[in-house]
Structures are given as structure tokens and as C-alpha cells.
Amino acid sequence: MRYISTRGAAPMLSFDEVLLAGLASDGGLYVPESWPQISAAEMRRWRGLSYADLAVRVMAPFLGDAVPLPAFERMVRDAYGTFDHPAIVPMKQLGERLWSMELFHGPTLAFKDLALQLVGRLYDHVLASHNARVTIVGATSGDTGSAAIEACRDRKSIEIFILHPEGRVSPVQRRQMTTVPSKNVHNLAVQGSFDDCQDLVKAMFNDRAFRETYKLGAVNSINWARIMAQIVYYVRAGLELGAPDRALRFAVPTGNFGNVYAGYVARQMGLPIEKFVVASNRNDILTRLFETGTMEIHGVEPSLSPSMDIQVSSNLERLLFDLYGRDGKALAAEMEGFRKGKSMSLSPARHKAALEWFQGFRLSDEGTLAEIGRLHRLTGELIDPHSAIGIAAAAEAAKAGDTPVVALATAHPAKFAEAVKRATGIEPALPPALADLMTRPERLERLPNDLNAIEAHIKQRLAEEVHA
């Protein structure tokens, strides 16, 4: 398996090279040269497999010969051995055609663990075989950061720097990052939005000298390995609901478009997915794109679902690459225009093609609180605001059409206790392993939204490590 950049000007790479590269050298994102296929017969055979066994089968074609299969199997088993539910991603029926899939049973209580527990192990394996070290730089609106830190803490060959928007993540999310005492973990609270943090990370990757000197690595979903690991639970949901003999739909709470893009890949591999409902909060750039064909950046506004407070959805570029017939040069020009003009429009034909697979949905904060309350009254369950947006989208979709709709529940309610309490009067408790989280000492650096300041800080910290 070889990987190509969405902007057409970076070298083709193998899986291990893509894992270490993160962003492509032309500023694009790596995607597989072609989509591996899962046959109907394979899907039927895979129905009763454990999550780990299924994960190995779904992901193996993406590795090429970069990682030996026995080692990969071990990594997968270890990664999902950290989850606290035997099904790893349990599904619950909420209505006649309505299901939710819980993706928050990993160590940091959000769907990011499904990919990052594996990516941390892949990094270890590949760094050891290349005898290399890496400096991870990542941006987070709250969940990627803690999942990446948990996956990379105390690893000898990794230093990890996570940028989060100061004051714009929940107190639990912040503390899950800042209370980790490991020496290789560095938290930077940036005066700006998640989009600013993500721009800073991309700018560090595009600063060739900095990237090469400090051997930058990525943990955000710009890294293909993140997407690869997220494909598995779509296949799992499909098999549980009767694929390949029955089609289904997904409703996905969306920010950076990584989660829903992994579903798109599952469909490209042959899973019979009829439609994706792309669900957003008031930061609805994607919903507007599907409604109108035009993508236009408005400022990021804080909401009750802060992890989705994003306007520039990185992974949309991977979908656009296919909508542009995999013409990297044409897409590079389009992305440059979008960067400068903060707006881009799809041609009517491309817009129509996108609507065959996707539809948009948005929910206000008031609607989110109402949905948390409604679900609690109906089922007795507490759900977090991100999952609530997905479930509300799925409930609406289930009213139209006969195929089942699966809502992805992306975070544990205790990560957003304040919103859940406002909606239900009940404060969800953190699991026992995190019971004392709110009293642990924190460690973070406050920095301006300025590339030079961030790079200087990282250089200084790395120099101190060398002399320690």
C-alpha cells in the first residue's frame, strides 16, 4: 500500500513513513492510493469476531509490509485491552430504527482513544525499527490532547507538546491533560481558538527547518493512522446491524471531519452505508457547505460542545480530493484560494455528488440541553453534549427512511458535567480512576497565538531535556 498527498506534489510514502510524516510536505494530507475492498463473504465471516480480531482484519491492508502482522496483532490487542467494556464499542437501541454506539470506554473517556491507544503503540514500534525519536506537536479542542498524552506519556523516544485554546476546554478535559506528571508531556494554553492552535501546528509542519530539526510528528487526524483505526467501529456497527445484507446510516457529531471521514472510507471499502448525517453545533461551516455548496469561515464561537468548536475542518480536504477526481494540483489551488479568501464553492456537480453521501444537521445549545434532558427522561441515561447532537441528528433522520441510523456517542458525560447537570439536575461522576482529578496539581504554560513564541518555547524545552 502506498499513500499519496491530496495536493499532488509530495512524494508517495509507505505506511510507516506516513505515520511519521503526519502532514505531507506540500501541505496536503496523505490518503491511500486505492481503497482496499471487503467482500460480502468476508463481512458475513467477520460477524462474530472480537473487536480486536475485526480491527486487525480491517486495518491489515493499509499497512503493506511496513509492520509485521504478528507485531500489529499484539499492538491491537494491547490497545483495546485498556478499555473498560468487553464490547469495546457497545451499541444501545434507542428506538425502532435508532441506535447509539458508545465510543468512550477507553482510558480518557472519548472516541479518540480508539485510534490513539493504537497510534501510540505504532509510534513505539516504528521509532524503534527506525532507531528514531519524534517531537509530537498536536492541537486539541479538548479530547485529542488527553488521549494523545495518555498514549505517549513516559515513552523514551517521544516528547509531546499539546496546544489547547485557553479557557475553551472543559475543566475535566483541561485537567486530564495538565495533571499528567510525565516529563515528556508539555501542555501549552494558547490565547486563541482551536482553529488558531491547529493553524500553529500546521505552520510548524510547514516550517521545513523546524520540522526536520526537531523531527515533528502528528497525533491529530491529519495523521492517516488516526483515520485508519477509526474505520473499524463503522464496520463493527454495520456487521451488528446485518451488513452486507442490510444498509445503514450514521449520524456523526463533527468538528475536524476525521470521524465521519473514517466512515466514508468504510463505505469506499464496501460497507453498505446509505448516508452520513454530519451534525454540528453553532459552528456549522460543514452544515452550511452541504446545504448551500459554499464553505465560508465565520469566527469560532464557544458552545456547550467545545470539542466541536471548529471552523476549519482539516479532513474535509481528503473528501474534496475525491470530489475533485483526485486532481491534487486543482485541489491545491482551491485550498490556497480558501486559505486567502476564507470561502470556497463547490461546482453544482460536486455539490450534488457530496449530497449523495452526506447531509448536514445543526443543533443550538438550547437544543442540546433539551436533547440531553429528553434522553434522560426516556432511558435514564446521561449523555454528553456532543453525543446529544449526534443522537438528535439520528432521531430526525430515523423518521425519514427505513434503514437503521447509528448515532456515534463520542464522549463520556462526566467530561462535560456542567452542561449535563444543567439539562438533568444530575452531575455525572467520573470513573474511579479519575475520582481525584479535580484536586491533582496542574502543569501548563500560557503562550500567545504566535508561531515564533511557540517554536521558541518548544526549542527551549527540548534543549532543557537534552541537558537534564
Ligand X SMILES: Cc1ncc(COP(=O)(O)O)c(C=O)c1O
Nearer to ligand X, 120 or 142 (CB): 142
- Residue 359: contacted member of ligand LJ64HWYM, ligand X, none (CB under 5 to 8 Å, by partner type): none
- Residue 192: contacted member of ligand LJ64HWYM, ligand X, none (CB under 5 to 8 Å, by partner type): none
Query: How far is 27 from 261, CA to CA, in rounded Å?
Result: 19
* Min separation Cβ 466 and ligand X, Å: 33
* Min separation Cβ 434 and ligand X, Å: 16
Interface with ligand LJ64HWYM, residue 240, by CB under 6 A: no
Interface with ligand LJ64HWYM, residue 410, by CB under 6 A: no
- Residue 140: contacted member of ligand LJ64HWYM, ligand X, none (CB under 5 to 8 Å, by partner type): ligand LJ64HWYM
Sole binder of ligand LJ64HWYM in the list 32, 120, 217, 255 (CB under 6 A): 255
Q: Which residues bind ligand X (CB under 6 A)?
A: 110, 141-143, 221, 253-259, 307-308, 386, 410-411
| Strands annotated E in 264-304 | 273-280, 294-296
In terms of Cβ atoms closer than 10 Å to its own Cβ (0-12, 13-18, 19+), residue 353 is middle
Q: Based on the residue annotation, tell me whether 112 is a catalytic residue of this protein.
A: yes
- Residue 386: contacted member of ligand LJ64HWYM, ligand X, none (CB under 5 to 8 Å, by partner type): ligand X
Sole binder of ligand LJ64HWYM in the list 27, 258, 360, 390 (CB under 6 A): 258
List CB contacts of 360: < 8 A, sequence separation 6 or more. Answer: 277, 278, 280, 284, 286, 287, 288, 289, 290, 291
* Min separation Cβ 432 and ligand X, Å: 22
Sole binder of ligand LJ64HWYM in the list 117, 179, 256, 287 (CB under 6 A): 256
The answer to whether 143 and 414 are in contact (CB under 8 A) is no
Selected range binding ligand LJ64HWYM among 83-91, 93-101, 250-258, 273-281, rule: CB under 6 A: 250-258
* Min separation Cβ 5 and ligand LJ64HWYM, Å: 17
Q: Which three cell numbers stand for residue 238?
A: 454495520
Interface with ligand LJ64HWYM, residue 313, by CB under 6 A: no
Q: How many CB atoms lie within 10 A of CB 172?
A: 21
Query: How far is 417 from 423, CA to CA, in rounded Å?
Result: 10
Interface with ligand LJ64HWYM, residue 106, by CB under 6 A: no
- Cα angle 255, 365, 320 (rounded to 5 degrees) comes to 20
Alpha-helical regions (H) of 153-272: 171-178, 194-206, 208-214, 224-240, 258-268
Interface with ligand LJ64HWYM, residue 184, by CB under 6 A: no
Nearer to ligand LJ64HWYM, 227 or 369 (CB): 227
The answer to whether 257 and 314 are in contact (CB under 8 A) is yes
Interface with ligand LJ64HWYM, residue 178, by CB under 6 A: no
Q: Which three cell numbers stand for residue 162?
A: 499539546
In terms of Cβ atoms closer than 10 Å to its own Cβ (0-12, 13-18, 19+), residue 325 is exposed
Tell me, residue by residue from 134 to 153, as one string, x for binding to ligand LJ64HWYM by CB under 6 A and - for no binding.
------xxxxxx--------
3 state SS of 162: strand
Sequence-distant contacts of 33-36: CB under 8 A, at least 24 apart: 33/1, 33/2, 33/3, 33/4, 35/265, 35/268, 35/269, 36/1, 36/61, 36/62, 36/269
List CB contacts of 302: < 8 A, sequence separation 6 or more. Answer: 168, 309
* Min separation Cβ 244 and ligand LJ64HWYM, Å: 28
Nearer to ligand LJ64HWYM, 243 or 308 (CB): 308
Residue type, 370: A
The answer to whether 8 and 328 are in contact (CB under 8 A) is yes
Tell me, residue by residue from 283 to 312, as one string, x for binding to ligand LJ64HWYM by CB under 6 A and - for no binding.
------------------------x-----
Interface with ligand LJ64HWYM, residue 221, by CB under 6 A: yes
Instruction: State the catalytic residue, choosing from 92, 112, 156, 399.
Output: 112
Cα separation values, 378 from 94, 375, 381, 382, 424, Å: 9, 5, 8, 10, 12
Residues with catalytic roles: 112
Contact residues: ligand LJ64HWYM, CB under 6 A = 140-145, 220-221, 255-256, 258, 307, 314
